[in-house]
């Protein structure tokens, strides 16, 4: 491992944390004595397509969709699947039915992005390929899917950082070239504040508000690694609470008084970690068996070199927090490990299939350090270009005597390209451009990729299967599913 990789340890845990994780894992194992349970984490940064992926996965399992790359179904061993009540009544249920209704409406529309943690259980019945298992008849697997906002992922590295360390990193990023437009207002407020004076809520709220505005603007412009604390962007019930009313501050010269503004915000930062981030890590994140990391690679490429670098930093920091390693059947009841991680470049339907290999190569370059770390810990990894739901088809056009590969789809209302604004109803043929052959070129010359990038509406006309259920088109969802759960159904 290189220096930078080894400097990213897993989040520190207390003895109480470890005891809570062990007891939760033991409870999971006790309820799964007769039916094994596989906990799949679906993660990714903002707008990576988590909701679409989960909806498509669940729908295809329930309807036995077109999944030729999913071995249990292709081999005829898949018997069926059904939704079941999730055992933890305190966790919101993933709104599968509502999301499917949005995608199959007339006209269809994309469902809302993930804004809170949610879970869903699917009970799968199948015939094992092993002769000794086949003699016992059909087998059953509980697949528990855990979904949470991508912004929350970026909070996990905070567990290993003090307020002074986090502040130094956040302020350094805010002052970097290319961040002036987003950070100017916050830095102006900071420069006009005396952090050594007595604490008061007015100063704290003013700084927190300016910092939150900076984070939002950074996300809108494609910067990803500048997002923590994640709850500032998706506060939910915590909006306006003291736990979300702080901001990074420069370290004061000498010692600071306990009554100072610096001390107040430092205490709120530590409270944020202890009361919000740590329980999320302990109760959900540290109890996963498999992980898919969805990455909106194309959005970063379209935003420019700074966004590409931010994405690489963010992925490396976040993936260092996974409890990775080879699964041990004897220790699993107490200490679960993520033994397989799938990196998925989403929205593969936004480039022609001839660029999919290049898209995967770019993703491999972005997650290189994280992938090496996972393998060193004993976890398997794989990368794939995919689309949970395919919103375009492919064709060709002739231009200046040259045949160009095109995408055919309906751009979302308000999308603009080359001065043309689309109304959300008109289908077009678009040459999306070519991805670079060498991923390293994105980091060497700093030039943006010349993509004709548009957001497309969901497919307007869906096929129906023999039972009248809609068929959701996809790209390599079957291969992703086979890698994530296929070996548990062997």
pLDDT tens profile 424-469: 999 999 988 888 888 887 776 656 666 778 899 999 989 999 999 9
More confident residue, 465 or 308: 465
Main-chain phi, psi angles of 196, to 5 degrees:
-90, -10
Q: Mean of the pLDDT values across residues 314-324?
A: 75
| pLDDT, tens digit (0-9, with 9 covering 90-100), for 84-112 | 998 888 889 999 999 999 999 999 999 98
Residue 324 DSSP class = B
Dihedral, CA of residue 118, residue 109, residue 296 and residue 405, to nearest 10? 150
Q: Does residue 299 carry a pLDDT above 80? A: yes
Calpha distance 194→276 (Å, rounded): 28
The pLDDT, as a whole number, for residue 347 is 95
Residue 452 neighbours by CB under 8 Å, 6+ apart:
417, 430, 431, 432, 433
CA angle 321, 323, 312 (to 5 degrees): 35
Q: Specify the range with the lowest mean pLDDT, choosing from 50-54, 168-172, 233-237, 360-364.
A: 233-237
Rounded to whole angstroms, the Cα distance separating 115 from 235 reads 9
Instruction: Please check the confidence at residue 283 and state whether its pLDDT lies above 50.
Output: yes
Angle value at C-alpha 345, between 8 and 412, nearest 5 degrees: 125
> Measuring CA to CA, which residue among 367, 244, 392, 234 is closest to residue 312?
367
Cis preceding linkage at 229, omega within 30: yes
Between residues 12 and 181, the one the model is more confident about: 181
Is pLDDT at 486 greater than 90 in this prediction?
yes
Beta-carbon contacts of 324 under 8 Å, excluding residues fewer than 6 positions away, are 337, 338, 339, 341, 373, 374, 377, 378, 379
- Spell out the domains of the chain, with CATH numbers in brackets: 3-148+284-390+474-489 (3.40.50.300), 161-276 (no CATH), 393-471 (no CATH)
**What distance in Å separates the CA atoms of residue 359 and residue 350, rounded to the nearest whole number?**
11
Q: For residue range 239-274, list pLDDT tens digits in order.
A: 888 889 999 999 988 788 899 999 999 999 999 999
């Amino acid at each position: 491992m290189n220096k930078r990789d080894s400097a990213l340890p897993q989040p520190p845990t207390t003895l109480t944390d470890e005891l809570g994780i062990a007891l939760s894992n033991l409870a999971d194992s006790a309820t799964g004595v007769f039916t094994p349970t596989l906990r799949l984490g679906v993660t990714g940064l903002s707008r990576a397509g988590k909701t679409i992926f989960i909806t498509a996965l669940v729908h295809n399992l329930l309807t036995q969709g077109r999944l030729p790359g999913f071995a249990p179904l292709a081999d005829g061993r898949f018997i069926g699947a059904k939704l079941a009540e999730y055992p933890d009544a305190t966790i919101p249920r993933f709104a599968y039915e509502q999301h499917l209704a949005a995608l199959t409406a007339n006209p269809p529309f994309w469902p809302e992005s993930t804004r809170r943690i949610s879970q869903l259980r699917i009970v799968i019945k199948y015939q094992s390929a092993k002769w000794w298992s086949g003699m016992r008849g059909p087998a059953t697997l509980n697949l528990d899917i855990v979904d949470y906002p991508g912004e929350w992922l970026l909070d996990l590295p905070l567990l290993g950082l003090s307020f002074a360390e986090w502040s130094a990193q956040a302020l350094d990023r805010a002052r970097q070239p290319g961040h002036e437009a987003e950070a100017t207002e916050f830095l102006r407020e900071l420069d006009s504040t005396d952090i050594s004076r007595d604490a008061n809520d007015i100063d704290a709220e003013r700084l927190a508000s300016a910092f939150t505005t900076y984070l939002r603007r950074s996300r809108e412009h494609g910067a990803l690694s500048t997002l923590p604390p994640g709850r500032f962007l998706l506060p939910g019930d915590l909006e306006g609470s003291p736990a979300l009313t702080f901001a990074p501050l420069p370290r004061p010269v000498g010692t600071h008084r306990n009554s100072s503004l610096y001390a107040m915000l430092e205490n709120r930062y530590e409270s944020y970690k202890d009361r919000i981030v740590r329980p999320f890590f302990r109760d959900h994140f540290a109890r996963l068996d498999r992980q898919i990391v969805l990455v909106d690679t194309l959005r970063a490429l379209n935003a420019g070199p700074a966004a590409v670098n931010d994405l690489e930093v963010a992925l490396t920091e976040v993936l260092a927090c996974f409890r990775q390693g080879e699964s041990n059947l004897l220790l699993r009841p107490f200490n679960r490990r993520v033994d397989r991680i799938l990196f998925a470049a989403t929205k593969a339907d936004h480039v022609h299939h001839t660029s999919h290999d290049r898209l995967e190569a770019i993703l491999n370059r972005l997650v290189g350090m994280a992938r090496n770390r996972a393998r060193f810990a004993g976890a398997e990894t794989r990368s794939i270009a995919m689309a949970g739901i395919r919103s375009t088809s492919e064709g060709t056009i002739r231009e200046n005597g040259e045949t160009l590969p095109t995408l055919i789809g309906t751009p979302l209302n308000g999308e603009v390209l080359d001065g043309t604004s689309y109304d959300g109803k008109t289908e077009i043929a678009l040459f999306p451009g070519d991805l670079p052959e060498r991923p390293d070129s994105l980091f060497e010359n700093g030039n943006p990729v010349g993509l004709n990038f548009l957001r497309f509406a969901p497919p307007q006309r869906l096929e129906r299967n023999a039972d009248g259920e809609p068929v959701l088109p996809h790209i390599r969802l079957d291969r992703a599913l086979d890698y994530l759960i296929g070996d548990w159904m062997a």
